[in-house]
Amino acid sequence: MSKRVIVLGGDGFCGWPTALHLSEQGMEVAILDNFVRRQYDFELGCESATPIASLATRLDAYRERSGKEIKAYVANMLDAERLKAILQDFGPDAVVHFAEQRAAPYSMIDRRHAVYTQRNNVLGTLNLIYAIQDVAPDCHLIKLGTMGEYGTPNIDIEEGWLNVEHNGRKDRVLYPKSPGSWYHLSKVHDSANLEFACRIYGLRVTDLNQGVVYGATTPEIKVAQDERLVNRLDYDGTFGTALNRFCVQAVLDIPLTVYGTGKQTRAFINIVDTVRCIRIAVDNPAKRGEFRVFNQFTEQWSVMALAELVRKVGRERFGREVHIAQLENPRIEKEEHYYNAKNTELPALGLDPYLLTEDVVHSIMRHCLLYKTRCDPQVVKTGVKWKETDNAALSGFVARRGS
């Protein structure tokens, strides 16, 4: 029998292509979403570079193209009873949890956004823990975490756990975390709560600490060549990830915004591999009572190296003179640091990484060019300042909401 998988946050940047990929792999898929990610665009006065159809239109288009049905539920994770009823109705073998506020800058705007992020993410996941325990205790929870939970320690980053020896005794403990934003801290709380739930309730959990995601298309979206299936592509200073933002800036002929020295090193992954990693986790579930952590990334890059790569592709493939602007860093972070993260578990289970090359950057930039007229250079800002307690005046959020 095919596995039944519900994708929480299935209307979003990672959730939508994941739902399509799992469906194409022969699984019975459902999506749960409350569409709050679309509301953030209204709040911030920006939108995806690509036109995003409604979820109903997307699902109709997918059914027309594939003959397959993806069921949709509209719900807020904070509504515990509704969440429980949905899990009982669908009866999942696996739950893929993307349904959290995902941007560090958004969480750092002010007190209200910090509280919202923590409440939405931590309490939503707690509701999910209890819903699974009550109605689907054998279900495998696949939770999207982030490599940002670890920070930039001066030792190697292991996969979730650390073997320690102290005063002649040995133990295995959760790897120490040093998150860099209220958003990343919410993910740390999630990890602690999920590990606790595995010990107490016997849940089976895979925590995927994902690197920075780049790209927007996957084979399931590209092969169809149907704009109703297109994925979102964020390029603004709040939700736009580094490489995607640089590619849009390059096609708009505006300088690439590198914060500080640009020597900050992070883990990265193409969205093509994001969906493949989810499928691998579904196919290889954790054991009952096991809290399993995979570091979900394929490469490590410095921010400046990414900018230089985009500049090279812009010059050699598009004949554009791409400039790099090193701006004062709005974040509180180490700009020069040791960074060596382990990622052995997913490759051991069969992940053959889709690595970042000039051809890949060329493909992303071509995709951005298709939607160049939709992009507003004004929304690519320096970014939210970490030390500010209210960034409204800086980023124009109040003015945009008022208009």
Asked if pLDDT for residue 140 goes beyond 70, the answer is yes
The whole-angstrom separation of Cα 60 and Cα 64 is: 6
How far apart (Å, rounded) are the C-alpha atoms in residues 205 and 285?
8
Q: Domain locations in the chain?
A: 4-402
Going 389 to 393 to 397 to 399, the CA torsion angle's sign is positive
Residues 6+ apart with CB under 8 A from 380: 235, 236, 237, 240, 245, 248, 249, 252, 254, 257
Which one is predicted more confidently, 397 or 290?
Answer: 290
Q: Which of 385, 256, 273 is nearest to 320 (CA)?
A: 256
Token pair for residue 149?
């939970």
Which residues in 22-39 are b (16+ Cβ under 10 Å) and which e? bbbbebbbbbbbbebbbe
Which segments of 54-167 are extended strands (E)? 71-74, 94-97, 140-146, 161-166
Q: How confident is the model at residue 401 (pLDDT cuts 50, 70, 90)?
A: very low
Instruction: Give tens-digit pLDDT for 160-216.
Output: 999 999 999 999 999 999 999 999 999 999 999 999 999 999 999 999 999 999 999
In whole numbers, what is the pLDDT of the chain averaged over residues? 95
At 397 the pLDDT is: 44
How high is the pLDDT of residue 329? 95
How sure is the predictor about 224, in pLDDT bands with cuts at 50, 70 and 90? Answer: confident
pLDDT score recorded for residue 74 = 98
Taking residues 363-389, report their average pLDDT: 91
When pLDDT is averaged across residues 217-238 and rounded to a whole number, the result is 93
Helices (H) and strands (E) in the chain, counts: 16, 14
Contact 212, 270 (CB under 8 A): no
| Biggest distance spanned by C-alpha atoms of the chain | 64
| From 267-276, 282-291, 390-399, the region with the lowest mean pLDDT | 390-399
Whole-number Å distance between alpha carbons of 127 and 80: 5
What pLDDT shows up at residue 400? Answer: 43
**Angle CA 264–268–269, to nearest 5:** 170
Q: Does domain 4-402 have CATH number 3.40.50.10860?
A: no
Q: In the Cβ-directed half-sphere of 358, how many Cα atoms lie within 13 Å?
A: 10
DSSP tag of 286:
P
Structure tokens at 318: 């598009």
Sort 61 into a burial class: Cβ within 10 Å, 0-12 / 13-18 / 19+.
Answer: middle
Q: What is the pLDDT of residues 381-397, one digit of tens each?
A: 768 999 988 786 544 44
Mean pLDDT within 298-326: 98
Helix axes 124-135, 80-90, angle to 10 degrees: 40
- Mean local confidence (pLDDT), 337-350: 98
398 confidence band (pLDDT: 50, 70, 90): very low
pLDDT value at residue 32: 98
Taking alpha carbons only, the member of 325, 180, 328, 146 closest to residue 246 is 325
d(Cα 47, Cα 10) in Å, to the nearest integer?
Answer: 18
Residue 265 has pLDDT above 80, yes or no: yes
Per the listing, tokens 């953030």 go with 40
Q: What are the residues whose beta carbons fall under 8 Å from the beta carbon of 128, sequence distance 6 or more? A: 8, 77, 83, 95, 97, 141
Is the pLDDT at 402 greater than 60, yes or no?
Answer: no
What is the three-class DSSP state of 372? helix
Q: Which residue has the tokens 């490469």?
A: 299
Element (H, E) at 214: strand 212-214
Model pLDDT for residues 11-50, shown as the tens digit of each residue: 999 999 999 999 999 999 999 999 999 999 999 999 999 9
Q: Kindly report, residue by residue over 49-67, the tens digit of the pLDDT.
A: 999 999 999 999 999 999 9
Q: Note the helical H segments in 341-396.
A: 345-348, 358-370, 392-395
User: Residue 208 corresponds to which tokens in the numbers above?
Assistant: 């995927």
The total of other beta-carbon atoms located within 10 Å of residue 99's CB is 29
Read off the pLDDT of each residue in 337-353 and give the average, rounded to a whole number: 98
> What is the pLDDT averaged over residues 143-160?
98
Chain mean position to CA 247: 18
Q: Which residues are known to be catalytic?
A: 146, 183, 187
* pLDDT above 60 for 259: yes
- For residues 247-258, give the mean pLDDT: 96
Hey, what amino acid is at 360?
V
pLDDT for res 392 = 65
Helix%, strand%, coil% for the chain, nearest 5: 45, 20, 40
**Element of type H or E holding 331:** none
Choose the weakest-confidence range: 169-173, 222-226, 235-239: 222-226
Q: What is the model's pLDDT at position 395?
A: 46
**CB-CB neighbours of 318 under 10 Å:** 15
